[in-house]
Amino acid sequence: MARVVWHVPVTVSSTGTTTALRLFRLRDGRRCAVGFSSPESLAALFGPDQAFTEFGEPALRALTAPLGIDTLVLDPRLVAPPVTAPATPLAPAPTAQLQHR
C-alpha cells in the first residue's frame, strides 16, 4: 500500500532554526490543521513561497492531538463571505478646507 503524504503549511522563523505548523479555524471557531495532496494545490491557495513539510495523517494527528485539535482538513479551499456592492453609492468623503491667515 502506498504511503499517503500530506503537504502541510508551516511557519519558519527568521533565523530558519524553528518550524511550526500553521493552524487554522473552522467556521464554527474550532481549530484545525490542514494538509494538501500536492505541493501545487498548497501553492494555489497560499502562493509559491509558502513553506511546507510532509506528514502522513497519523503523524499530523499525533502532533495536533495534544493541542486539542482533532479535525484535519485535506485540500481546503478559500472560504470567505461573498463581497457585495453597497446598496447605495457611497458619498465622497468631505475634503478639509485650509484657511490662510
Say whether 23 sits in a helix, a strand or coil. strand
Residue-wise pLDDT tens digits, 15-53? 988 899 999 998 888 999 999 999 999 999 999 999 999
How many residues appear in the chain? 101
Q: Which amino acid is at 52?
A: F
Q: Cα separation of 77 and 84, whole Å?
A: 20
Q: Which amino acid is at 89?
A: P
**Residues linked to residue 24 through DSSP beta bridges, in sequence order:** 32
> What does the pLDDT average to over 57-80?
91
Name the pLDDT band for 71 (thresholds 50, 70, 90). very high
Q: Cα separation of 65 and 62, whole Å?
A: 6
Record the pTM: 0.72
